[in-house]
Structure 1
Amino acid sequence: MSKSLSGVPELSVIVPTYNERENLPLLVERVEEALKGRSFELIVVDDNSPDGTAEEALRLAEKYGNLKVIRRPGKLGLSSAVLDGVREARAGVIAVMDADLQHPPELLPKMLGKIGEGFDLVVASRYIEGGGVEGWSFWRRLISRAATLMAKLALPRVRGLRDLMSGFFMFKREVIEGVELRPRGFKVLLEILVKGRWSRAAEVPYLFKPRERGKSKLGARVMWNYVEQLLELSSYRPLKFAAVGSIGVAVNEGLLHVLMHFLPLQLAGAIAIETSILNNFILNDQWTFKDRKVGRWAYRCLKYHGAVAVGGLVNYVVLLALTLLFGVHYLISNLIGILMGFLANYAVSEVFVWRSRQ
């Protein structure tokens, strides 16, 4: 049995809960065993679980003097639960983990050791050597990988890490001091990685195992919250890029239609594509990526042309092939070519033309 803490603990472990009454006793026992001999506090933040999780936590708090319970009035969400826990935490190092026993408490000392080595933030990772996932379906794995890929594409600062979706992580308090955090859904780590004041981050491997009790909380609402969070953290760049692209489509199609009255398809198509490329570059440079300009205007313009060369070539080849070989109307052929180059153009623009300076 742990004694009540009188001084400032070395570590605060925050555990958000909702309907985790069955898992909580074993979780607390394993945390206490893993951190035996260390000064720490365990903070359970419960969203008024109807299964009596808060009552169970209060019972355990009587047994373990270093356990604090925060009972909230309703189901307010994991992210805000973590932030409420941080506000109550007293330690200079804070860990966040789930109560469902899928995050092994035995990893906490190793993560704390990494903090001691000088890392500002440590992520328990499923996607580095030694880590893994058990019991997931193909679709669950696909969703997780797709979510990670989306984050790396939209958020340059996180690209050095592998498991951006992890809910098990540890950080120094100063990483978030003075930082306005407004995370949505379950992905608190992503918010901290993008906005936090950190310079060194490490990952330690762990095996993510199936739940022994309770139900997974992944659903359509969680996935939608994630998309909203990504857009907000990326300053809505994907939507801005799409808007610019739409304007480029109008320029391309409109100019092609006009030029076809005076020029052959081969020349009219080339001029229309080049004009739309210049249009898109200027708008993206002044709006979408205005905070990430590196080098002179002419240099960025040249880089952009190199980046969209594949998309432009695809656009041109599809236009000629569908129109001349298959008899498709030139405006429809052109539109198909434009759509085929869009995703590639955005990806290259993110990582090559307007690369983050962080």
Structure 2
Amino acid sequence: MLYIVLPAYNEDEALPVLLEEIEQSCAAIPHQIVVVNDGSTDSTLDVVQNYAQTHGNVHGINHEQNQGLGAAINSGFQYVLSRNGGKNFSENPDQEIKAVPDIVITMDADNTQPADHIPLLYREICSGADLVIASRYVQGGEQHGLSIGRRSLSWGAGKVMQFFAPIKGVRDYSCGYRAYRLKLLAEGTRQYGPNIIKSKNFSGMVELLLKVAPYAERVSEVPLKLHYELKKGASKMRIWPTILGYLQLIYQLKRKKWSTVEWVEE
């Protein structure tokens, strides 16, 4: 089964379009969509509830208050893992390789990441990868509509992380459009607990990558054409808190302690 986890904060304009595009792109793939409404103040919750009533494969999780991207991703993972609670991923790994594995894809709910890449990520996992990143920095990858500050932050974060925490096959450390073999997330949860992401800002996606990649035998990237100009409304990312979050990640990495500092807020 393919699970698509969408963290959503004030995305009532973009979310309906994205949900329709996911259904079109994944028509041939059995899939479930998990939308985590992270304390939205617009009508995002109504959108999710309406879709859940008319589409049996759409499921909503609601945070009464905004908790941040990391907490939303954690909630989505916990929901998916709870639906697979009786499965022993280590019981017969060879059998899983031959069969279609359980896969989790995370992507933004603002419709800037094209849903037609989902089958590409899906096929890459089915072909043997444990973790696949939709990357702006491989051949064929592009990004449009980002400010110079945002471009510099993403590019610089990747270079810094490549120096301090190199992961074979990874250039794009911060993009959250990824596919995970479910057993990889299960192992990460066993190691770090249900709230695997501790960061309270957008550096949480880098934190997640650093935590689960060591348990992946194969990590790969596929090209992504990011169209940020399609985003409705203002960006939720704050550059300086995110930079501080990256610095905290490096500190945690070198100290081998993931929960001993008070993570900076967004």
Match runs of 1:207-286 below 5 Å: 207-212=225-230, 213-219=232-238, 220-235=240-255
Q: Secondary structure at the match of 1:14?
A: strand
Q: What is aligned with 2:191?
A: 179
- The one-letter code sitting in structure 2 at the alignment partner of 1:198 is A
Q: Secondary structure at the match of 1:179?
A: helix
- The one-letter code sitting in structure 1 at the alignment partner of 2:254 is S
**CA radius of gyration, larger in:** 1
Match runs of 1:10-89 below 5 Å: 10-89=1-80
Q: What is aligned with 1:122?
A: 132
Q: Is the 8 A contact 2:145 2:229 kept in 1?
A: no
Q: What is aligned with 1:191?
A: 207
Q: What is aligned with 1:287?
A: none
- The one-letter code sitting in structure 1 at the alignment partner of 2:175 is S
What is the Cα deviation at residue 63 of structure 1? 1.9
What is the TM-score of this pair, normalised by structure 1?
Answer: 0.60
Of 188, 203, 206 in structure 1, the residue corresponding to residue 221 of structure 2 is 203
- The one-letter code sitting in structure 2 at the alignment partner of 1:227 is L
Q: Secondary structure at the match of 1:41?
A: strand
Going from structure 1 to structure 2, the CA distance change for 1:55 and 1:49 (only over 3 Å counts) comes to same
The farther-off stretch of 129-138 and 107-116 is 129-138
Q: What is aligned with 2:178?
A: 169
The farther-off stretch of 60-69 and 121-130 is 60-69
Q: Secondary structure at the match of 2:252?
A: helix
- The one-letter code sitting in structure 2 at the alignment partner of 1:204 is V
Determine which structure has the larger strand proportion and give its number: 2
Deviations 1:218-244 (Å, cap 9, x if unpaired)?
A: 21223322322232133279xxxxxxx
Deviations 1:313-358 (Å, cap 9, x if unpaired)?
A: xxxxxxxxxxxxxxxxxxxxxxxxxxxxxxxxxxxxxxxxxxxxxx
Q: Is the 8 A contact 1:123 1:166 kept in 2?
A: yes
Match runs of 1:87-166 below 5 Å: 87-89=78-80, 90=83, 92-156=102-166, 158=167, 160-166=169-175
- The one-letter code sitting in structure 1 at the alignment partner of 2:216 is W
The farther-off stretch of 103-112 and 173-182 is 173-182
Measure the CA separation in 2 of the matches of 1:198 and 1:183. 20
The alignment-based identity, stated in percent, is 30
- The one-letter code sitting in structure 2 at the alignment partner of 1:160 is G
What is the Cα deviation at residue 140 of structure 1? 2.3
Q: Secondary structure at the match of 1:109?
A: helix
- The one-letter code sitting in structure 2 at the alignment partner of 1:179 is Q
Q: Unmatched 5+ residue regions in structure 1?
A: 1-9, 238-358
Q: Is the 8 A contact 2:8 2:44 kept in 1?
A: yes
Q: What is aligned with 1:324?
A: none
What is the Cα deviation at residue 14 of structure 1? 0.3
Q: Secondary structure at the match of 1:13?
A: strand
Q: Secondary structure at the match of 1:215?
A: coil
- The one-letter code sitting in structure 1 at the alignment partner of 2:247 is V
Structural RMSD (CA): 1.8
Aligned residues: 227
Going from structure 1 to structure 2, the CA distance change for 1:200 and 1:159 (only over 3 Å counts) comes to closer
Runs of 4+ in 1 over 3 A off after TM superposition: none
If asked which structure has higher relative contact order (CA below 8 Å, sep 6+), I would say 2
The farther-off stretch of 180-189 and 109-118 is 180-189
Measure the CA separation in 1 of the matches of 2:37 and 2:151. 28
What is the Cα deviation at residue 190 of structure 1? 2.4
The farther-off stretch of 83-92 and 11-20 is 83-92
The farther-off stretch of 133-142 and 118-127 is 133-142
Determine which structure has the larger helix proportion and give its number: 1
Deviations 1:118-140 (Å, cap 9, x if unpaired)?
A: 10001000000000111223332
